[in-house]
Structure 1
Amino acid sequence: MKQLLIAVCLFASALFAYAQQETIELPAPTKTGGKPLLEALNERQSLKDFTGKEFDNQTLSNLLWATYGFNRPDKRTVPSSQNRQEIDVYVMFKDGVYFYDAKENKLKLHVKGDFRDGLGSQAYVNDAAINLVFVANLDKASNREAAFIDTGYISQNVYLFCASEGNLGTVARGSFSRTKLPPALKLTDKQEVTLVQAVGYVK
């Protein structure tokens, strides 16, 4: 019993330390393998029953690269209107929110704290390994409508990655709090949350 308690305490301490890092260096993403495209499309679905298990850094790197990484020196895994690349991806853990720097392949701490109450009332967001927050920089976008269309491409990449992995699930959500989330993320009047997406291991 004592050994089990010590192990639990060490695990909890590790998670706390992980969430408090100023920068999370990600390993190079794996860009090969996975299920064939048509099989992944056939298995794509919205799933909400998460285990609460955390992601390791390799899975996180692979997911974020598929979501919005660079597959050419100046182009991403998704299209964007006039190549403005106006969307930023924030990764929300239970103890902090990180900005995904795709060029450097790292996560940079944006704000410390638990801001999941800004994601809405669905309890399953607390069981997801992460919640992705897509933010449009309207001063970069060709127009506001294009920013929402571009968000859709990004969100679909998350779905296809999860389907390809087989043990991951995701659900895109527009029912976040538009009064709580933007100030929690310290967004400017030129930034707008377009969508949030829970991602995690499924039961």
Structure 2
Amino acid sequence: MLNKEVRALETHLGYEYQTATKYQRDAMPSRRLDMSTIPDSYKEHDGPHIPLPKPNMQGGLSLWDALARRKSGRRFSEAPLSLEILGQLLWGTYGATRVAREESFFFRTAPSAGGLFPVEMYVSVHRVSSIEPGLYHYSVPRHGLTLLKEGDFGKELAAASLGQGMLQKSAVNLIWTAVLPRTFWKYGERGIRYIYMDAGHVGQNTYLAATALGLGCCTIGAFFDEEVNQLLGVDGTSETTIYMASVGKSY
């Protein structure tokens, strides 16, 4: 029975990729890194920009309590988030902790393989005080939101996520893309492994930050990639959607 299961597994593309990108002591890939071509570790957008309040580093729920209470929540009330809460959530998820390289490189609250930070964060705002509904990009260096499109896109995101209604009822939806060349520049084909590890770190940060703020949160991996990419205006090749989360006040 086990041999039959193994043979079936070997036909999967994921298995082929996992096998093809294994490190072998006697066949390690050789890559020469040209530092003059290192990709930028963040992107910025033109457009109306909304600064977010500086994150509060004091008090609040302890890490250990947040870990113990963390769970997926899919039922959200219609209460809006405050601008302060949204800013705290986004900073906790993927905000800058310190700056280096002549103030052009930002370490984040989430780790990243090789310090390449392939993940970009977009925010679909539905109910946040002082912010109009719309699709925004999170600016790491400015800790703020840049407007990309006006409107409430909860219905479109729910439809693109196999009909998961929570995306339509949440206060905000976070959408994470991967800018693939950032990681491939250093790690080649094995880089996709690290990109999804990075996304996992970001997702867990969101859960812990939401829990500490008394919010409900549920991450999402099931979606029609190209429908979300089209909504964001990314090409699906060099930058593509890899993960999402719905966040709001729970019942």
1:55 to 81, 91, 94: 81
- Segments of 5+ residues of structure 2 without an aligned counterpart are 1-46, 100-105, 127-132, 185-190
Q: Work out whether residues 115 and 181 of structure 1, in 8 Å CA contact, stay in contact via their aligned partners in 2.
A: no
User: Is 2:160 the partner of 1:128?
Assistant: no
CA distance in 2, matches of 1:104, 1:118: 26
- Segments of 5+ residues of structure 1 without an aligned counterpart are 1-20
Q: Work out whether residues 151 and 195 of structure 1, in 8 Å CA contact, stay in contact via their aligned partners in 2.
A: yes
User: Is 2:157 the partner of 1:118?
Assistant: yes
User: Is 2:192 the partner of 1:144?
Assistant: yes
Name the structure 2 match of 1:89. 121
Q: CA deviation at 1:52?
A: 2.3
CA distance in 2, matches of 1:83, 1:67: 16
Q: CA deviation at 1:77?
A: 0.5
Over residues 13-44 of structure 1, what are the superposed CA-to-partner deviations in whole Å (9 max), with x where a residue is unaligned? xxxxxxxx922121111122221111111000
Name the structure 2 match of 1:168. 215
User: Is 2:147 the partner of 1:109?
Assistant: yes
Partner secondary structure for residue 88 of structure 1: strand
CA distance in 1, matches of 2:157, 2:64: 35
Give matches, 1:21-40, under 5 Å.
22-40=48-66
C-alpha root-mean-square deviation of aligned residues, in Å?
1.5
Give the counterpart letter for 1:180 in structure 2: E
Q: Work out whether residues 51 and 201 of structure 1, in 8 Å CA contact, stay in contact via their aligned partners in 2.
A: yes
Name the structure 2 match of 1:177. 224
Q: Work out whether residues 118 and 177 of structure 1, in 8 Å CA contact, stay in contact via their aligned partners in 2.
A: no
Number of equivalences? 182
Q: CA deviation at 1:115?
A: 3.2
Q: TM-score, normalised by structure 2?
A: 0.69
Partner secondary structure for residue 47 of structure 1: coil
CA distance in 2, matches of 1:141, 1:32: 34
CA distance in 2, matches of 1:125, 1:49: 10
Larger Rg: 2
Q: Work out whether residues 31 and 62 of structure 1, in 8 Å CA contact, stay in contact via their aligned partners in 2.
A: no
Q: Work out whether residues 157 and 168 of structure 2, in 8 Å CA contact, stay in contact via their aligned partners in 1.
A: no
Q: Work out whether residues 157 and 167 of structure 2, in 8 Å CA contact, stay in contact via their aligned partners in 1.
A: no
Give the counterpart letter for 2:230 in structure 1: P
Q: TM-score, normalised by structure 1?
A: 0.85
CA distance in 2, matches of 1:174, 1:193: 10
Q: CA deviation at 1:186?
A: 0.8
Give the counterpart letter for 1:96 in structure 2: G
CA distance in 2, matches of 1:37, 1:25: 27
Q: Work out whether residues 46 and 171 of structure 1, in 8 Å CA contact, stay in contact via their aligned partners in 2.
A: yes
CA distance in 2, matches of 1:102, 1:61: 12
* Highest RCO, 1 vs 2 (Cα 8 Å, sep ≥ 6): 1
